[in-house]
Amino acid sequence: MTDPDGFWREAAALIDWYTEPETIMDASALPFSQWFVGGELNTCHNALDRHVDAGRGDQVALIHDSPVTDSQQRFTYSELRDLVARFAGVLRSVGVGKGDRVIIYMPMVPEAAIAMLACARLGAVHSVVFGGFAARELAVRIDDATPSAIVSASCGIEGKRVVEYKPLLDKAIELAEHDPGRSIVLQRPQYEAPMTERDLDWAEAMASAEATECVPVAATDPLYVLYTSGTTGKPKGVQRDNGGHAVALRWSLPAIYDVGPGEVMFTASDVGWVVGHSYIVYAPLLTGATTVLYEGKPIGTPDAGAFWRVIQDHRVKALFTAPTAFRGIKKEDPDAVLLRDYDISSLQTLFLAGERLDPETWTWASETLGVPVVDHWWQTETGWPIAANLRGLEPMELKAGSPSVPVPGYQVDVLDVDGTELPRGEEGAIVIKLPMPPGCLQTLWQDDERFRESYMSRYEGYYLTGDGGYVDADGYVFVMGRTDDVINVAGHRLSTGSMEEVLAGHPDVAECAVIGVHDAMKGQVPRGFVVLKAGVTRGEDEIGPELVALVRSEVGAVASFKNVAVVPALPKTRSGKVLRKTMRQIADGQDAMVPSTIDDASVLDTLRPVLQKGPQGS
Ligand code: COA
Ligand code: AMP
């Protein structure tokens, strides 16, 4: 914190530059800051070509492990570089150039990583959309990112279910106002998608493609836009640069995860989330490590021993996943009997993030695996950990319920409503003092104003994380939960606002609210409450299932929206704000804080038993 320029200059030496940066950090226009100004690089060169040039060409770069298709595929650095260079040629042939956006809507196949790296190679900006989102969500992202091309696949495989992606893509293109140009579609044997004139077959295009060289870009040019859920239904396009991102991720892998060149990292997430961007694709490859891209689940593909098998087969050193995955494994195999069938001696650390790590899961995982279980806290916006236990730099004592201490570069403070710094141990809004370290968001895509308003305007000079919590006497951070309407379902960040928009669109619904309530497996699940329009005679039995189906088709299966209640009215303040927090506290069995500004307390009294009853069917 005292010498950011010196610290990050040294870290930047781990990256290959065409032109060395002139300025390490430019914080002259806060809240906007720029890293490595004047520097020129190519992220794909740093992730692939330079390792081949340095003699690492025959090392495995990426392992696709896919229990759902019963296959494993290994790509060396040379092979991956060649495939990426050819796919960059395909993208160029359909008109994609530097600065153009490309949407990638794909399941967990190696081609998803190849497409991301090919964009980086061309200096194009990728925007990966998670496969669990429905057509409407994809359409919203197409209209915001205005891509020149889309890369997709015929299908994904979710457990035993084949999810047809191509019809969703076609529907999204139909819904979107922007014409996204050509789509390149990977046909998978599980479902052959009908092709239209706009579609190019991946395999055919690759057969005739020309390999393309890396295009130098400015350190401050965008590498990608990744949409994440905000408070409203409109997703936020988090924009990340090339230079700061490469330096921060390359630095983080050995320092935080203790993974270096030639070692194996298995991040069980999805390339559609930031965890997948950073620790399936970019950080391991920028480091010259081997990454496992896993197409399966922690349970059911085929059983709760799936992760142990992957660790054994590929000699994994570090596993990174969300706590929900371990809650799933614990539920299926509480005594970890399946672990006895595997040799997981290569595993040195388990990293968990994406949601609060409950002490019970932490204890179970620690005792079961016999390795340090490291909670760490970060967000799509930061792109890499804000607080962690730095296993490769200076491992510290682990404390249940805490992701440990701020990572170098982040000054974490806790403020009260007035912006006064709170003493250690007192809970408030967790903020990061500006400027943030490299790798964090530059802005929101095409929306500097929303960037300011969402993150930078609440407390002058600070970035608002949206999480509440405290720092204890030893400097350990405790993250207690979101202070806004973002919820976290099985480690997936979702907006209750987008679900409310869908419910409000039903012809019988007058008013609605969606809250996130505690769930033993998924951490949180959404619950909906609707007030019907006057004169509607149909009841919850009929309308409820319609609303559940509507959210699934409009937002996506990933929302896990399965519970909705018809209620006579919603509790509100006198100014009309629905008391979602109070509702959530009652549903979770906590002491509910009822604001003095409540309009009609009897509405809450009527709702109380419905909230306390818990979700239907649970
Ligand atoms: N494409 C299409 N559909 C998808 C999808 C994808 N990429 N990912 C998830 N879905 C669907 C699932 O099939 C499921 O549908 P269903 O309602 O028909 O069963 C729904 O979205 C919810 O999926 P998920 O949140 O993965 O939960 P699950 O019930 O399938 O799995 C566990 C339960 C225990 C395995 C789950 O808690 C888990 O570990 N999930 C993965 C966690 C994760 O990786 N989070 C991100 C980490 S950063
Ligand atoms: P995402 O942007 O999808 O990575 O989600 C970020 C949000 O997930 C954070 O703002 C937190 O609310 C939550 N989160 C992530 N990691 C942790 C953690 N280790 N402990 C508590 N909450 C976490």
Q: Ligand 1 in contact with 131 (CB < 6 A)?
A: yes
CA–centroid distance, 379 to ligand 2, in Å, is 6
Token reading at 408: 């170098």
Q: Ligand 1 in contact with 557 (CB < 6 A)?
A: yes
Q: Ligand 1 in contact with 288 (CB < 6 A)?
A: no
CA dihedral for 105, 111, 112, 115, sign (positive or negative):
negative
CA–centroid distance, 493 to ligand 2, in Å, is 8
φ, ψ for residue 15 (rounded to 5)?
-115, 145
pLDDT tens digits for 423-439? 999 999 999 999 999 99
In the chain, the N- to C-terminal Cα span, in Å, equals 48
Q: Which atom of ligand 2 is nearest to the CA of 481?
A: 12
Q: Ligand 1 in contact with 523 (CB < 6 A)?
A: no
CA–centroid distance, 210 to ligand 2, in Å, is 41
Q: What pLDDT is attached to residue 484? A: 87
Q: Which atom of ligand 2 is nearest to the CA of 403?
A: 19
Residue ranges covered by each domain of the chain: 490-612
CA–centroid distance, 465 to ligand 2, in Å, is 10
Distance of alpha carbon 404 from alpha carbon 388, whole angstroms: 5
CA–centroid distance, 492 to ligand 2, in Å, is 9
Q: Ligand 2 in contact with 377 (CB < 6 A)?
A: yes
CA–centroid distance, 568 to ligand 1, in Å, is 33
Q: Which atom of ligand 2 is nearest to the CA of 492?
A: 3
Contact partners, residue 189, CB within 8 Å, separation at least 6? none
Residue ranges in the chain whose pLDDT is less than 50: 616-618
DSSP 598: B
Q: Ligand 2 in contact with 466 (CB < 6 A)?
A: yes
Q: Ligand 1 in contact with 269 (CB < 6 A)?
A: yes
Ligand 2 pocket test, candidate residues 399, 467, 484, most atoms within 8 A of CB: 467
Name the residue at shortest CA distance from atom 4 of ligand 1: 132
Q: Ligand 1 in contact with 491 (CB < 6 A)?
A: yes
CA–centroid distance, 495 to ligand 2, in Å, is 13
Q: Which atom of ligand 1 is nearest to the CA of 562?
A: 17
Q: Which atom of ligand 1 is nearest to the CA of 299?
A: 35
Collapse the DSSP code of 80 into the 3-class scheme (helix H, G, I; strand E, B; otherwise coil) and give the result.
Answer: helix
Q: What pLDDT is attached to residue 615? A: 65
Q: Ligand 2 in contact with 354 (CB < 6 A)?
A: yes
Token reading at 98: 């530097």
Q: What pLDDT is attached to residue 51? A: 98
Contact partners, residue 511, CB within 8 Å, separation at least 6? 504, 530, 531, 570
CA–centroid distance, 560 to ligand 1, in Å, is 9
Distance of alpha carbon 77 from alpha carbon 290, whole angstroms: 9
Q: What pLDDT is attached to residue 618? A: 38
H or E segment to which residue 144 belongs: helix 135-145
Q: Find the ligand nearest to 378 CA.
A: 2
CA distances from 201 to 8, 91, 151, 188, 483 (A): 43, 12, 10, 11, 45
In three-state form (DSSP H/G/I as H, E/B as E, the rest C), the secondary structure along 178-207 is CCCCEEEEECECCECCCCCCCEEEHHHHHH
Distance of alpha carbon 358 from alpha carbon 313, whole angstroms: 29
The CATH number given to 490-612 is 3.30.300.30
pLDDT tens digits for 238-258? 999 999 999 999 999 999 999
Nearest Cα to Cα of residue 326 among 375, 279, 277: 375
pLDDT tens digits for 176-227? 999 999 999 999 999 999 999 999 999 999 999 999 999 999 999 999 999 9
Q: What pLDDT is attached to residue 575? A: 86
Ligand 2 pocket test, candidate residues 361, 378, 384, 402, most atoms within 8 A of CB: 378
Q: What pLDDT is attached to residue 160? A: 86
